[in-house]
Chains A and B, each alone.
Chain A
Amino acid sequence: MANRKVPHLKFNLIVRRTHLYLGIFLLPWFLMYSISSLPFSHRSYLDAYYDDGTPLWVSRWEGNYYIPLDTETDHRKIGAQVMQEFDLEGSFGTYQPAPDQLAIYIYDFWNATQVRYFHDEKRLVIQDRRFRWDHFLTGMHARGGFQQASFLADLWAVIVDIVCVAMMTWVASGLYMWWQLKSVRRSGALVILSGTLSFVLFLFLL
């Protein structure tokens, strides 16, 4: 009888330990994603808090410059060239705020710099962003993807994937552990049902 119970107990232990050690290892990411969600949710409050007269962007360099901005232009390639020329380092992204403009956004966890090119005026502006804790947190929250040519940036993106898999594992293992506790099955089922129902209602009513 005792022997027949062993595989079940072993599986229980694997589920519990996976749940536990994944949680402990990823604790900094879990805390970061939760705390950094607050500035997203309460942006206007934080904008008002930091509204102290200090400009958000401070000019570092401004002058004449030429970039051949046409449909053939590889924006990332241009971005990398401009960064090299002006000794700017970090991950970056490019976008066109207007058809005659090109913006390069350069960032690490602590700093952000934007380069704006105005094709009509053949003018380039480089600006540094002031440090704000809410931007630090939201920057970390939003960071991800495999588009940077940096091994460490890719490694961060892999960790983001692991956090996602871990979250789904916590949900599945949490449900499994709840089902083992017979005394809370009924109340737990009620909570799951009401949670799912609220979510579905939001989908239709929002």
Chain B
Amino acid sequence: MYALSTVVMNHRDWVSSFYPETVPFVTESELTRRISFPEEASPAEQGRLVLQALNMEGAFSARRTEEGKLVILRNHPVHPRRITYETESGHLQVEQQPFEAPRFLERMHRRRGFQQDYLLEDVWALSVDLVILTMVVWAFSGAWMWWELKTTRLWGISCLVFGFGLFAFFLLTI
């Protein structure tokens, strides 16, 4: 997933050319529901209550528009949704982002951190940390296993020197 999504991000213009008619969101349902918020509740707290009422809990961000509408972006990995709630009328609009593989991959790549109040999100963030730790372990265990193979030392050292040399060159030039 991380390798494929990086290819997508590295060639964003080219990949986007395969999706000329991208639609941000498509209306899924519209309904009226009165949801009461505690006084002085922040948009995030209100968003959480709306998602609870819709049985759509999970990672999200929420904001109030200038017109007073509450806009919630529910960051589902496969089907992200935008929910717009008009507090006074109770009108709710639920829109879904059509599935597109590049957007899905990029979303998965960027999903991390412990900022959401959901246990599952923290477990995902923990798995991301585990991937990081594993990559470091692979790097060092791989280097150690290479060193044990005496026949590959010379070519290995050449690759190592060339790799680190090129990396250092980039650090100093771009």
Contacts and interface: CB of A to CB of B under 8 A. Distances in A.
Interface of A: 17, 20-21, 23-35, 37-38, 40-44, 91, 108-109, 144-147, 150, 152-153, 155-157, 159-161, 163-165, 167-168, 171, 198-199, 202-206
Contact of A24 (B9, B114, B146): B146
Interface residues of B, number: 52
7 contacts: A20-B156, A24-B159, A34-B135, A41-B113, A42-B114, A160-B6, A164-B3
B18 interface: no
B94 interface: no
Interface stretch (B23-31, B38-46, B63-71, B119-127): B119-127
A47 to B, nearest CB: 11
Interface string B4-35: 10110111110000000000000000000000
Main secondary structure of the interface of B (DSSP, over half): helix
A24 B156 contact: yes
A195 to B, nearest CB: 10
Contact of B77 (A29, A160, A203): A203
A118 to B, nearest CB: 20
A35 B136 contact: yes
Contact of A157 (B10, B77, B152, B155): B10
A17 B146 CA distance: 10
